[in-house]
Each structure stands twice: as C-alpha cells, then as structure tokens.
Amino acid sequence: MNIFRTKNTLQTFLDEARNTQQRIALVPTMGALHEGHLSLINEAKQIADVVVCSIFVNPTQFNDPTDLERYPRPEQNDLQLLQKIGCDAAFLPSIEEMYTPMEKRWHLDLGNLEKVWEGEKRPGHFQGVTQIVYKLFRLVEPDVACFGQKDFQQVMVIQRLIDLKKLPITLHICPTVRNEKGLALSSRNTRLSEAGKQKALALYRALSHIKRHFNDHELDNLRQEALSILEQEGEIEVEYLAICETRSLQEIDQIDPTKKHVALLVAWVEGVRLIDNMLLD
C-alpha cells in the first residue's frame, strides 16, 4: 500500500493511474477505522481499479473544540487495517496541507438538509463536511466516492454537493454494517459496556418495526410504537425519531408512492450518542 501525506505526491501517483485509464474510487474517513469503514474499502475494490482512503480529522466540521481534541487518532492501527484489506493508497495530510492561512470562507446552499436533524443539532457541521470533501474531490478526481448509509443525512449532503458543483462523480452508498444482533457498527460503540450494547439493540428493533409495518400502519401510530420499543428497554434517551422523504429529509405525515422514505433515529445510551437509520421502501 502507498502512503501519502502531501497533495503533490498523491497527485503524481493518481496521474499514473489516470494515464492508464484506471477507474479511481475515494473513501473519505476520519480514521479510527472499524469493520464499517473496511466494508466501504471492499465495495470500492469491486467497482474501481485504484482505491484511495483518506484519513483526516477535519477541524471545520467540529462545533466543540474539545470534541476535536478527543477524537481518536490510532494512525498505525488504521494503516495496518488498510494494508491487510488491500487498499491501494492511504492519504494522511496535515491540517496545514488541506487548509491555507488565507482560506476563503466556504458556504454551500444545502437547503433543508442543513436545517433539520443533524443540521439543526450541529450548526455549521455540514458546511465543514462539504468543504473538506470538495477539497478531496478536487484533488483525487475520483470516478466514484463510497460513503456509508449509516450517516444517511451526510450522504444526502454529499449528493447535493455533487449536484451543485456538477461533479462527474458517482456516489456509491454502501449498506450499514451491523453485528450479528443488528447493532450498527460505530467507533462510538467502543464506549459502551456490554450491557449498553445490549440496550442499544433496541434501536435496530424500533427501526425494523417501522420498516415491517410501513405500509399497513398510520404513521403517527407507527412512530409511537417504535418509541414504545425504545422506552421498554429503559435508560435510552431518544433525541429524535422521524420518518422522512429521502432526498430532502422532510418529515412526512403520509406516504407518497412516488418517493423513497427513510426512518432516522438518534438516541443516547450510557452517555453515548448513537445514530442509525433504515430505508423503508
């Protein structure tokens, strides 16, 4: 595996790939890799000739400087995982490599996506996400970019970035990776006790209930039933549970057969904020 820390060295490597008409895939990450990330690399390997994984803890998407400081950076472990899985190139730039002292103010019209759910809870977060992803897109010029469905709102934000900037990039959405009991894999899970992980399975049960009964229950009743599943487990604090149209993430009160829908859920277990979702159609 090739390891790059500067834009110039990565660019030279990618120029060689482009000159031989190789298809390039980009998997942007912030490191602390787990099986969910590795599944993105595996999918990328199936649809591209060269896979680039970026590892960069992006400061502009953090609302709280303390969160940025605490974010795990197990670089050597991440590189070993990428090497083992057969990733072609790892890009680990410094902050100075990605942001100049005279950086222009970044703003992208994200519409409703910036005003609801994660956008409302974390003001400015998606501006920071699109800022760094656009930099990576311009640098790598991938044919395809792989993102996980688990951060569904982020995926829709990236699709809007691609549409607004008219980028010739295909967004490949990879299914959420879950353990054998249904818990969505996340670096945050490591902060849960075994009992906490058991409690967190209620998120999967609640989402599965919504999916199972999506077409045969009133939506208000369905949402209440899902909340009851979470309440029965005890010691789970629900931040939001919503049934939405996929592209705008506007909450719906009735099903539109011409559109696709998703259930979004954020809940706190043992002081850990867990995010999950499920496509319903």
Known binding-site residue numbers for (R)-pantoate:
61, 154
Q: Is 209 among the residues known to form the active site?
A: no
Cβ neighbourhood burial of 248 (10 Å; 0-12, 13-18, 19+): middle
Half-sphere exposure of 21 (CA within 13 A, CB side): 0
Known binding-site residue numbers for beta-alanine:
61
How far is residue 246's CA from residue 281's CA, in Å, rounded to a whole number?
10
Token couple for 225: 């039933």
Angle at 60 between CA 15 and CA 274, to 5 degrees: 105
Of 37, 125, 209, 261, the catalytic one is 37
Phi-psi region of 235 (alpha: psi -120 to 50; beta: other; left: phi over 0): left
Enumerate residues 6+ apart whose C-beta is below 8 A from 252. Answer: 219, 243, 244, 245, 261
Token couple for 49: 């000739």
Known binding-site residue numbers:
30-37, 61, 148-151, 154, 177, 185-188
Known binding-site residue numbers for ATP:
30-37, 148-151, 177, 185-188
| DSSP-derived pairing of the beta strands 261-269 and 272-279 | antiparallel
Query: Which residues are the active-site residues?
Result: 37
